[in-house]
Amino acid sequence: MEKKDRVKVGIIGCGTISDVYMTNITNHYQNLELVRVADLYVEKAKKAQEKYGISHAGSVEELLADPEIELVLDLTIPAAHYSVNRQCLEAGKHVYCEKPLALKFSEAKELNDLAAAKGLFCVAAPDTFLGAGIQTARSVLDDGKIGKPVGFTANMTCAGHELWHPNPGFYYQNGGGPMFDMGPYYLTALVYLLGTIRSISCFAVKGRPVRNILGNQVESEVPTTYTAILSFVCGAVGTMTMSFDTWKTRLPLLEIYGTEGSMEVPDPNGFGGKVEIFDGNKLRSIVDSVKDPFPAKLIAMMQNQADCTSEVRSEFAEDPDPQGNMRGLGVSDLAQAIRFHRQPRVSEAVSLHVVEALNAFEISARSGVVYEMTTKAERTEPMGKGWELWEVR
């Protein structure tokens, strides 16, 4: 793509997560040009400018006043997302925000309405569902390989981020916890695969309410385990568990169950991964071929599980580096949507729907009632078969 046709991007927030975005934008996404970075601490922006050869660095006010910048990538902490995103929209900039769009559904709705009034896009990560793993899973569903989806399970379980994170305190403050931290990855993948969530019923607890945060005993402000039942408009019903209290488990990350088979979906927190399907019709045929009565049919069913399981060959280009991170793919797709006047795959409707769902878990857990969703999110278009947006410069 000619340099003059690239969408000029400014980044607000030069913390740890910014490194991978800056690396990918300056090296791989052909339709983006990073022209300015800003941070509350200007010296951090200056360091990023020097490291990545960016033209300008300075304050947020300077970035928003720059007429060159069309799209702002908001990488601030979640508690600041609403205010920063609103500033960007008021300055006439499109916005791509790290997850979530806002902490409160009312604030996310306000951003959504303001963007629509100004003819701008305001969307939020994650963009991992655009990778080959979830894209392959989507093609399995669209091709009817497991029949009509009827159920699922989604699980992110660990013992807590204080075991490894250099600054884990905010994970246990309001706006943190396993749901707001990792829930967006799983919810976005589920909405992309299954469509609109109809209702949510959730229970939540503080499994280990006191955590060792850098040598200090700190009480968690938020639940550390959420378990919920979700129903989707498509008819699928399933469970979701997000936990910072689980030392070890054999729970799958994400599985979808259909009328004709089952599918193991790769980690929604990654861009790739293996997709496996279980062919229920094949198993039925094997069992039907056994003429002896019980228990012969049951034994045949149990012994032939592996023969009915197969890996799906992906038709989508894999991440060039299997251990890599293509974060920023959603920013690139949004830039393409701006240039070609189409809807981005990381859509406003999905971003808003996910924030409502995150709030629904909290509301249902506190009230003990089922939360009925008020927003809708249609499944967005699948990606092309290759990384047409990715190049090595």
Residue-level pLDDT at 149:
98
**Rounded distance between C-alpha atoms, residue 16 and residue 8, angstroms:** 22
Question: Which pair of tokens denotes residue 5?
Answer: 């046709």
Residue-level pLDDT at 219:
97
Strands 71-74 and 7-12: parallel
* DSSP bridge pairs for 343: none
Asked if 29 contacts 389 with a C-beta cutoff of 8 angstroms, the reply is: yes
Residue-level pLDDT at 324:
61
* pTM, full prediction: 0.94
Asked if 176 contacts 222 with a C-beta cutoff of 8 angstroms, the reply is: yes
DSSP-derived letter for residue 49 is H
Residue-level pLDDT at 325:
85
Asked if 265 contacts 131 with a C-beta cutoff of 8 angstroms, the reply is: no
Tell me the mean pLDDT per 10 residues along the chain, length 393.
84 94 93 96 96 96 98 96 98 98 98 98 97 95 98 98 91 94 97 98 98 96 98 98 97 98 96 95 95 91 95 79 78 95 96 98 97 97 71 56
Residue-level pLDDT at 323:
52
Residue-level pLDDT at 260:
98
Looking at 54-147, list the stretches that DSSP marks H as alpha helix, in order from N- to C-terminal side: 60-64, 81-90, 105-118, 132-142
Select from 89, 84, 72, 64 the least CA-distant residue to 18. 72
**Rounded distance between C-alpha atoms, residue 334 and residue 93, angstroms:** 13
Select from 20, 74, 29 the least CA-distant residue to 52. 20
Residue-level pLDDT at 319:
64
